[in-house]
Structure 1
Amino acid sequence: MTPSISTQVQLVARPHGWPTREDFRTVAVELPPLGPGQVRVENAFVSVDPYMRGRMNDQKSYTPPFALGETMTGGAIGTVVASTADGYAVGDVVLHQLGWRDVAQGDAAGFRVVPALPGVPLSAYLGVLGMTGYTAYVGLTQIAPVAAGETVFISGAAGAVGTAAGQIARLLGASRVVGSAGSAEKVALLTDRYGFDAALDYKQAPVRAQLPALVPEGVDVYFDNVGGDHLEAALDVMNRGGRVALCGAIAGYNATGRTPGPDNMATIITQGLTLRGFTLGDHLQHYGQFTTDMSAWFQAGRIVFDETVVDGIDHAVDAFLDLLRGANIGKMVVRTTPGS
């Protein structure tokens, strides 16, 4: 029998500082019968991501904020359980943006059929084979292109984007890859599993004090997921003509006041640096090449990935709050269908 009740998570209050469980509610929604050209999907995994914190604020950004009292959205992957749309059969695996729920329904145009690869969990399409991996790829091929023999520094390197970026930088020819993380365990993971040459624990001492010793020949490309003190430290050691891909600013996502900025901005002028921010919506034209390159790297065993999996849509908020506090290794996903 096709499920007709969807358990969904809604935002009911805009967080001030760190979000709390009281800012959300979980509701049961009865789905209407399928209209023409629609599909119903039982989600296997839904994604929780740092950018979602910004959408909880009522402010102008590259994407509209979540509306209060409505179900939030985000990446998800699942299996079609009912369809009135041509080209979408029961059993097809589809990617879509109706996350934060266990059953999704909508016009077929919002769902994309993907192949189920043997031995690869569906959740990988939300991570290294999906938007997470694509973010790292765009940052290092289009925004701050890496050339052979260069040194790359990646902040927030133990997260989903950071771990992908470190490996992609190496595959693009970087001779030295350095990262930052928030624990000794994560630092070891970066060097032992992901192939980083060195990494620092930003909780042990200021990044500005630790980084120079790890990059004795300077940094050519900086992939920034953090901002704040990490950006400041990177500017100190950038080589002339260096490039910076500004992907995220985790340091300020839960701040209640202004996040301090770098005090060394003149370096941008004196070193002839290029700093460029980006979001994926402006770079979708490269997705085909990403798919080709990443699939080849993945199948050749040149890419590894980790996931932190939380079970149950009822625990999606817990997963998101843990993500913001750095409790994840690699991609954080919520498994909404047991056994997926």
Structure 2
Amino acid sequence: MTVTDRRWRVAAMPDEQLDSSHFELVPADRPEVSDGEVGCRVLWISIDAAQRAWFQGVSYRGALNIGDTMPAFCIGQVVESRSDDFAPGDIVTGHLGWQDYGVVDAEELTGIEVKAPLSRYLSVLGITGITAYFGLFDVGDVKSGETVVVSGAAGATGSLVGQMAKLRGCRVVGICGSAEKQEWLTSKLGFDAAVNYRDENFRTALKEACPDGIDVFFDNVGGTTLDTALGRMAYRGRVVCCGVVSQYDTTTPSRGARGVPGVLIGKSITMRGFLYTDYSDRFDEALQALQGWIEQGSLTVAEDILEGLEKAPEGLIGVLNGTNVGKRMIHVADPS
């Protein structure tokens, strides 16, 4: 067969921090499409910090091995179909991976009725927006007038969570990693305050920003940030465990938050993890709400786009180091 595809493969397993040497971009033949399968051209690739955790394996995905194509959730366009569910030209989402062309079972794809820029279906109208919506409103059970603190606040999910909490009538404090991001959160997204976890006075700054304690802590980071926030929780506060980006890029993650469960018992705190798929039967509810806020102009969509398949490793390494603002993704190609 003619070489028509490029794909990023795992070249080595990281001992500690991920770097570009752990990947290799290789030419490959397009795989044939068998009965029940669909061949897709990859248009957009979602870059998520959790992809680093896939090297060790997580509960919903087996560990990666050397030689594997790097997996990722993507937007694609059908170019060949041996399924009655899809036809060439259809726009779909699914786990197509870091490559130009992917073949998957038809049941693993979801068709998109395109009504917005395609990138939106990886950010606010995709997994990111759905995660923020249900994490805040269902897991966090947020109420008007409460204080909501978001870690990783300038990231994909955190930036949406903070804005939605403001729409609910909450006081919102963001935790981020630079003065520039603090300014962006308060001046552009409307957060009431933002604190820098890298500052020596982080603990004091968080206390000053939350004088009455934290009612809902939406955590994307874990580690010492979670430890610090637990110390500021209000009575019957809720901790939403969405991600642990501080623990992904290492083979020796910390053992967990200090003082648990004692600190939870002392203030009747609820601490709960979740997956967006827990709410698969209610996706339409979230998407209708998100689309409504966008149309009203009350929700700012922040997308951090890198051009070209070649940028995929750089994109992931950057997310792990906090260089992104908003949802990072790779633009690979335009639909034909």
TM-score normalised by the shorter chain: which range applies? over 0.9
| Aligned 8 A contact 2:153 2:174 in 1 | yes
For residue 236 of structure 1, the aligned residue among 231, 234, 248 is: 231
The answer for the alignment partner of 1:319 in structure 2 is: 315
Shift, 1:151, TM fit: 0.8
Unpaired stretches in structure 1, ≥5 consecutive residues: none
Identity %: 36
Distance 1:271 1:67 in 2: 43
Give yes or no for the alignment of 1:48 onto 2:47.
yes
Distance 2:253 2:310 in 1: 33
For residue 92 of structure 1, the aligned residue among 90, 93, 116 is: 90
Shift, 1:206, TM fit: 4.4
For residue 113 of structure 1, the aligned residue among 95, 111, 114 is: 111
| Aligned 8 A contact 2:43 2:75 in 1 | yes
Distance 1:207 1:285 in 2: 40
Aligned residue type for 1:91: G
Distance 1:60 1:219 in 2: 30
Aligned residue type for 1:280: Y
For residue 289 of structure 1, the aligned residue among 285, 289, 303 is: 285
Distance 1:247 1:283 in 2: 14
Distance 2:335 2:76 in 1: 12
The answer for the alignment partner of 1:184 in structure 2 is: 179
Distance 2:321 2:17 in 1: 10
Unpaired stretches in structure 2, ≥5 consecutive residues: none
Distance 1:257 1:221 in 2: 28
Aligned residue type for 1:44: L
Distance 2:73 2:255 in 1: 31
Aligned residue type for 1:99: G
Identify the range of structure 1 (239-248 vs 197-206) with the bigger mean alpha-carbon deviation.
Answer: 197-206
Mapping of 1:1-340 within 5 angstroms? 5-57=4-56, 59=57, 61-117=59-115, 120-171=116-167, 173-259=168-254, 261-265=256-260, 266-337=262-333
Using structure 2 for the length normalisation, give the TM-score. 0.93
Distance 2:253 2:82 in 1: 50
Identify the range of structure 1 (205-214 vs 46-55) with the bigger mean alpha-carbon deviation.
Answer: 205-214
| Aligned 8 A contact 1:308 1:333 in 2 | yes
Instruction: Report the aligned-residue RMSD.
Output: 2.0
Aligned residue type for 1:48: I
SS in 2 for 1:243: strand
CA-to-partner distance for each residue in 1:81-132, whole Å, 9 max, x for gaps?
2323224232221111112112122222222111222xx3211111111111
Aligned residue type for 2:207: P
CA-to-partner distance for each residue in 1:10-61, whole Å, 9 max, x for gaps?
113221110121211112221244323332222111011100111012x553
The ranges of structure 1 where at least 4 consecutive aligned residues each deviate by more than 6 angstroms after the TM superposition are: none
Distance 1:299 1:86 in 2: 34
Distance 1:150 1:205 in 2: 27
Aligned residue type for 1:121: P
Distance 1:19 1:296 in 2: 39
> Is the alpha carbon distance of 1:187 and 1:260 closer, same or farther for their aligned partners in structure 2, counting shifts above 3 Å?
farther
Using structure 1 for the length normalisation, give the TM-score. 0.92
Distance 1:176 1:245 in 2: 17
CA-to-partner distance for each residue in 1:296-318, whole Å, 9 max, x for gaps?
22222221112111111122111
| Aligned 8 A contact 1:207 1:230 in 2 | no
